[in-house]
Structure 1
Amino acid sequence: MKISWFSLLLVLFVFSLTSWEALADNHDEFIQCLSHSNQTSSFYTPSNSSYSSILQFSIQNLRFNTTKTPKPLVIVTPVSEFEVQRVILCAKKTGMHIRVRGAGHDYEGLSYVSEVPFVIVDLINLRTINVNVNDKTAWVEAGSTIGELYYRIAEKSKTLGFPAGIKLVDVPEKVIVFTLDKTLKQNATKLVHKWQYVAPRLQEDLFIRILVSRLNSSDQDGDNKQTIVASFNSIFLGGVDRLLPIMQENFPELELRREDCIEMSWIQSTLYFAGFPRGESIDVLLNRIQLSTRYFKAKSDYVNQPISEKGLEGIWNLFFEDEAKASQVILSPYGGRMDEISPSAIPFPHRAGNLYKIQHLVYWDEEGEQVAERHINWIRRLYSYMTPFVSKFPRAAYINYRDLDIGVNNIKGYTSYMQAKVWGIKYFKINFDRLIHVKTKVDPSNFFRNEQSIPSLTKW
């Protein structure tokens, strides 16, 4: 039996009309459900004048803010926990897919992009923070930024800090920070190599990370030259008189001097690590508007054994390629308290045995698919080069540096355990199976889902 092209196109056209009619019905039913549920929160559709500004307000990665980026049918901004519940119930009732947007970074845009028709539940109005100094805890609503949390803690105490953990911790009234930049001529390769042996084994109140990037410099003749700069970026929870002997004993090659050390409060150090100039008011932590946004792609790795100097030189060579003009790798040491916690204590499993974590980053400013493809291909080449030097079985990754290259779920239809395991064990290792069992009990229909959400074992 033969089917003509005309007949096939007619069938597809009718199917398309049916799909869009069903979609429109779901959309209308969802709006009606919200309207009938005594909602005081606002909702925005593409016909609203504020729709675009609300959508773009929290977007940090321009890769997901193009004309081809799928847009939500509705954006809802609840003002209470009760209203969040009502939005979820309306979405379930009308078959609408949702994406929940808080205030953190979202490397792959999963909180505001979907390949199927969807609604954004934007928690921007839910940002109450209550700090209890006596028991060193804080109740934080999901729409709060980390900057707002730091600020509210500093309002209540000069000797409490937040290490992005479970509880607030004691910190000195004053801490020491320093940043030492070392180029290849200043033995950057040897210093980075030595750092791998030193940083994970330093005492717990001293943290030294490295930011590696490409640098354009001039030689004695005034000619522009490209080199690599490794920035040793540190915080010490103590005074300079304690710090200098520790550095002299453990890392004399870095040649830290008293004049390199800057004393400030812990809250000011959060601005220092974020790259703000000295003297910036801590009020900047309350600013929810992005100071700058760029296109970027990130990946992550864990290192269990020191990388040789030759291996490091191979990384530097990749940094001299055209697409790496605005690239960076950030090496963050583990050890210390991280080694003392069981891998199964909480879902985050990356504990003893890891020397440090790597964040690979590439940025660009020019729009266009071909430009994006070139830069993304570059960071994939870097990631491929790193294979012999990083963790194996699985090659671990850090979930807060989300990377869809390592595997995704099916957004339409059922995702099998084996399919999800491809990416799941890289983020969660031995805890992935436990997370799946919890998900199956709590959300058997897999209503809350995205490309890298824990799937339910229930076939729905």
Structure 2
Amino acid sequence: MENSLFLTFSSFLFVIHFVPLAASTPSYLSFLQCLSKHSHPSDHILSRLYTPNNSSYKSVLQHYIRNQRFNRSTTPKLDIIFTPLQESHAQVAVTCCRKTDKYLKIRSGGHDYKGISYVSNISFVLLDMSNLRSIDVDIQNETAWVQAGALLGELYYRIWEKSKVHAFPTGVCPTVGVGGHITGGGYGNLLRKYGLGGGGASFGVISAYILRLVKVPDVVTVFRVVRTLEENAIDIVYWWQFIAEKIDSNLFIRLALKPIDEKQKGTKTITATFVALFLGDSRELLSIMDRDFPQLGLRIEDCKEMSWIESELFWASFPNETLPDALLNRKPGAKFLKRKSDYLQKPIPKDKLKSIFDKMIELGDTELVFNQYSGRMSEIPEWETPFPHRAGNIFKIQYAANWGKEGKEAENFYINQTRVLYNYMTPFVSKSSRCA
């Protein structure tokens, strides 16, 4: 597995019981009997079960639903939620699902975009890992023992409590669950420096991980710079495609293209927002940008020096002066959203970029987010880890639509927008087969 992301899975892998291949009968009596048989009465294991007849079922189910599209009365509901308080509880649940031929799904933070961990048209048991979230940071050995139900923000905070010069290279959304992020190949703004791991999500339930921490400097630098069409956004984005693979691996820049309303003109335009993390001070960053990416026109006043933990707050769009303990919040506001992904392997010609901008303006509400690859990502062969998308990819592209209005009509409108833009991008992205 990748050198920086993690050393090993938990030594306790719930005896690696597999999810059964056949759906079960509606009755869960045999499952409940199995739980009682394989647990000690003092464990009170049945008290951790929630069914639709339980008054707490709805709140437990909804607590980690991050996409409101899958929080409707018509959404297929699971039969049982099981919220273990200790690893032995989870082991018994997996054992009994296998013995009684029940489907099992595992939820860590609930951030899967399509609700895969908690929505299904067949009956299943949800193993909710949210109570298994202890974190033990060992700075002397530069490791952290983290249970699968912990969130990224909690991990970052606990590392920061012990050291101001250590980090872990995962994502920039603090409410993502550690379990799903690591097994699913989640990415963040340290991937060009330290790479990306991932894999193993299909063979068993993992209770905890030993993570190898990485070093970060006392001072890092961030910026968020917006360029409009009037400020040559098309030219800047065009040149960025050629520069992104070669620029210093201590620098990560995310590019977001977004249609916005020009209120004075009554029309729409596109903004190109460049958001960066640099592992160093602002003067060093400015020197790199002036040399390698002068087209952006970065100025010293655009740059903000801060600690690594403060940069996590910046990237998560917290207000200035927010204290690090905000990362411990486990209850973000859920919203309606749609996401799709692509990989860009060759620069898009300038005239085609303009046509993409025009299509985005025509559609009106779908954003394109370009996450920079290369650096350490390109040094690791695609066959070395379960995550194959490495050398040869300039950007991972995300199609993003968010909305606040309820109802199928609004949902169909925004989903259709992402699909239209996704289809429009077909000539420019990875082929044979299209990767996502």
TM-score by length of structure 2 reads 0.82
Shift of 1:254: 1.0
Shift of 1:96: 1.6
Give unpaired runs (5+ residues) of structure 1. 1-21, 398-460
Shift of 1:104: 5.3
- State how far apart, in whole Å, the 2-side matches of 1:175 and 1:155 are: 18
- State how far apart, in whole Å, the 1-side matches of 2:424 and 2:112 are: 25
Higher relative contact order (CA 8 A, sep 6+): 2
One-letter amino acid matched to 1:59:
I
Cα-to-partner distance string for 1:224-259 (whole Å, 9 max, x where unaligned): 332111101011111112111111111112111111
1:249 is aligned to 2:291: yes
User: Secondary structure of the equivalent of 2:277?
Assistant: strand
1:314 is aligned to 2:359: no
Is the CA contact (8 Å cut-off) linking 1:303 and 1:391 kept in structure 2?
yes
Shift of 1:67: 0.9
Is the CA contact (8 Å cut-off) linking 2:26 and 2:123 kept in structure 1?
no
Structure 2 residue aligned with 1:453: none
Shift of 1:44: 0.7
In structure 2, which of residues 49, 70, 84 is the aligned counterpart of residue 78 of structure 1? 84
* Comparing 307-316 and 196-205, the one that deviates more: 307-316
- State how far apart, in whole Å, the 2-side matches of 1:184 and 1:372 are: 29
User: Secondary structure of the equivalent of 2:78?
Assistant: coil
Is the CA contact (8 Å cut-off) linking 1:104 and 1:145 kept in structure 2?
no
Structure 2 residue aligned with 1:440: none
Structure 2 residue aligned with 1:430: none
User: Secondary structure of the equivalent of 2:244?
Assistant: helix
User: Secondary structure of the equivalent of 2:356?
Assistant: helix
Structure 1 residue aligned with 2:385: 346
Structure 2 residue aligned with 1:190: 235
Structure 2 residue aligned with 1:420: none
In structure 1, which of residues 49, 55, 58 is the aligned counterpart of residue 55 of structure 2? 49
Question: Map of 1:56-67 to 2, 5 A cutoff?
Answer: 56-67=62-73
Shift of 1:35: 3.3
Question: Map of 1:50-449 to 2, 5 A cutoff?
Answer: 50-103=56-109, 105-164=111-170, 165=196, 167-218=212-263, 222-290=264-332, 292-321=333-362, 324-325=364-365, 327-397=366-436
Q: How many residues align?
A: 369
One-letter amino acid matched to 1:347:
P
Structure 2 residue aligned with 1:32: 33
Shift of 1:321: 3.7
Q: In percent, how many aligned pairs have the same letter?
A: 45
User: Secondary structure of the equivalent of 1:196?
Assistant: helix
Is the CA contact (8 Å cut-off) linking 1:61 and 1:295 kept in structure 2?
yes
Cα-to-partner distance string for 1:100-138 (whole Å, 9 max, x where unaligned): 101252111111011101111100110011112123221
- State how far apart, in whole Å, the 1-side matches of 2:287 and 2:318 are: 29
Task: Decide whether aligned partners of structure 1 residues 40 and 315 sit closer, same or farther in structure 2, where only a CA change above 3 A counts.
Answer: farther
- State how far apart, in whole Å, the 2-side matches of 1:328 and 1:168 are: 33
Is the CA contact (8 Å cut-off) linking 2:372 and 2:395 kept in structure 1?
yes
Shift of 1:33: 2.4
Give unpaired runs (5+ residues) of structure 2. 1-23, 171-195, 197-210
Cα-to-partner distance string for 1:28-58 (whole Å, 9 max, x where unaligned): 2222322342343411111111110000000
Is the CA contact (8 Å cut-off) linking 1:60 and 1:294 kept in structure 2?
yes
Supply the RMSD in Å over aligned alpha carbons. Answer: 1.5
Task: Decide whether aligned partners of structure 1 residues 344 and 225 sit closer, same or farther in structure 2, where only a CA change above 3 A counts.
Answer: same
Cα-to-partner distance string for 1:421-440 (whole Å, 9 max, x where unaligned): xxxxxxxxxxxxxxxxxxxx
One-letter amino acid matched to 2:25:
L
One-letter amino acid matched to 2:271:
V
Is the CA contact (8 Å cut-off) linking 2:66 and 2:110 kept in structure 1?
no
Larger Rg: 1
TM-score by length of structure 1 reads 0.77
User: Secondary structure of the equivalent of 2:295?
Assistant: helix
Shift of 1:24: 4.0
The structure that is helix-richer by fraction is 1
- State how far apart, in whole Å, the 2-side matches of 1:321 and 1:92 are: 51
